[in-house]
Amino acid sequence: MRANDPASIPTRQSLLQRLKDLDNQEDWRRFFDTYWRLIHATAIRAGLTETETEEVIQEVMIAAAKKLPQFTYRPGKDSLKGWLLAVTRWKVNDQYRKRHRLRGEGRPWVADPQPPPLPPAEETARTSTTDRIPDPTPAELDEHWEAEWRANLLREALERVKRKVNPAHYEIYHLTVVQGLSVRETARALAVSVAQVYLVRHRLGRLVKAEVARLPP
């Protein structure tokens, strides 16, 4: 399902709407479970230690808790992905500056009191938001974020589908789509018909696309 598919917009709006309530622990837990791996992988790729990375994850989630309750999602205008990238890079830089400060390198650094504003999607595409943030990380970080973002959405969608469907059906989908076995190889491995493999793969593929569409862009 395309990101601009009208059928996906109400679900995304309702998810972000529920995050306006800081007492909604279930949806905030889902938000954390959905995005912490993305932030973790990006911070590690940037060269931080595990301890520094854990601090980045915590600080990004704190920034989200401060920002998202006041956020109104405008389809085609706002980008959660771009905002999370901006804040993650900001917090990665924070850790590098803290590291240098502790080593007595350079001048003391004082963090800005507020995280960057949520950027419109078109500005994010021009990377103007991230350009405003000093970047001590490799140039490949943006490309890695994009790839990790897609992988993270797919991973979360697969987990949601796995919880909803027959385990035997999910195993068929996992073998053919995730592990890349052929339909015939999967049918032989699981002692099912080729027709059933095709049917289950198609049905669960639609469910996975629907789950991806429910996640914020």
What is the DSSP-derived secondary structure letter of residue 76?
A: T
Distance CA 111, CA 100 (A): 14
CB of 186 within 8 A of CB of 197? Answer: yes
Distance CA 48, CA 42 (A): 9
pLDDT interval class at 120 (50, 70, 90): very low
Distance CA 61, CA 172 (A): 36
- Assess whether pLDDT exceeds 50 at residue 210: yes
Region 193-217 average pLDDT: 89
pLDDT in tens, 83-109: 888 888 889 888 988 888 877 655 444
- Assess whether pLDDT exceeds 80 at residue 59: yes
Which of 13-22, 90-99, 129-138 has the highest mean predicted lDDT (pLDDT)? 90-99
pTM: 0.59
> Integer distance in angstroms from the first to the last C-alpha of the chain?
12
In order of 34, 35, 90, 181, 196, the CA distances from 150 in angstroms are 12, 11, 21, 22, 28
